[in-house]
Structure 1
Amino acid sequence: MKQSIFTLAICATSALGFSPKADAYSIDCAILLCLAGGFPTSAECSAAKVEVIRRITPFPIEPPLQLWNCPMRASGGPVLPGIGPDGLTPDVRRFRDGIELYHVSYRSYRTSDGMEITDATQRGSYTAEGDFVWRPRDLSDAPAWVHEAVSYRSSGQTLTLRGVALRTLDYQGNAQVEWVSY
């Protein structure tokens, strides 16, 4: 009897599109939830943070959070208040928009003519429509948190920096900064 109930439960969940595996979740849903919590220590949040870092290094080739992979709306359910045209609630939008990414490719060195600087730094962020875009940005014009993360001081020093500075905000508005050099 117990075996037939178990078999029926598995068939029902499979027919409804649910997976009986506990670990069957979208990594982007995990990234969103862990991001909101400041990436607390857990197996799921560690995997989510590793995936974010994988997406943005060695060169940022993918957006760190891909909400289109995380089904957040139940089909046929009531429309939730506050849902914007992008399909997100204000809280989810705040977490998405709280992600700032700087791809730093900077080199300064002395020549016979003085200091030579090569700066191909870019800032990555989400638009109001949810698209992830890159814009050129001089490292010297980057915010203080980027300078602190990469140990940058514009003092005429010989310096080579190459990596990604990532800042995220948790549900309390606390910032976490990660520098990954490569």
Structure 2
Amino acid sequence: MQNVVHAMKTGAMALFFTGAVLVSQAQAGGNGMPIEAQCDAAAGSRDDRTRNTDFAPVEDGGIKLGMALSACREAYKAGGKPRITFQLARALEQGGQLLAAQGLYREAATRGHTAAMVRLGRMLQEKGDPSGAFALYRRAAEAGDPGGAYALGFAYRDGIGAPADARKAALWFDTAASGGYEVAALKTKFAHQDGAAAGTGSR
């Protein structure tokens, strides 16, 4: 009889712990990872200095939308950080929901997320608001964001939202390159050449 009672107690405890694990997994999104981490894994950007580096970055155009939208929406609803807002915006942008993406980039930018400033700036530039774009690029660059410095370099090079200035373009391309923005190193060479030519012409 005691063996039967012991077996029943053991079975009940096993069911309890199994249920607890299942509830925990459901709260974490069903795969054992917290929902915020799932969003990080699905839509983290290499341009984001606040990215969760436990996961490899996901390149633009390479986001698996179903997974990213589901995880990032849940993480956002749970009061996600500006990083989560930015990642949800990335997924929405890739999915063609540009107005919603723009709103979330703006929200993240308002909360100080520099990569969101750069993305929002590009959207404004494409919509014909170069002054708004320039202000965001400068804000991100002055906050130390290499992507912001790169975008600001282009703005000065091409006269986007401010008078063209080859010397300032070279300075910001240098800043981007020294901050680890690899593509900027290629542009730095040409910006310096343009700056030198401008200097020669002004003598």
Same fold (TM over 0.5): no
TM-score between both structures, scaled by the size of structure 2: 0.32
Answer 1 or 2: higher relative contact order, Cα 8 Å, separation at least 6: 1
TM-score, normalised to structure 1, is 0.35
* Higher Rg: 2
Q: Report the structure, 1 or 2, having the larger strand content.
A: 1
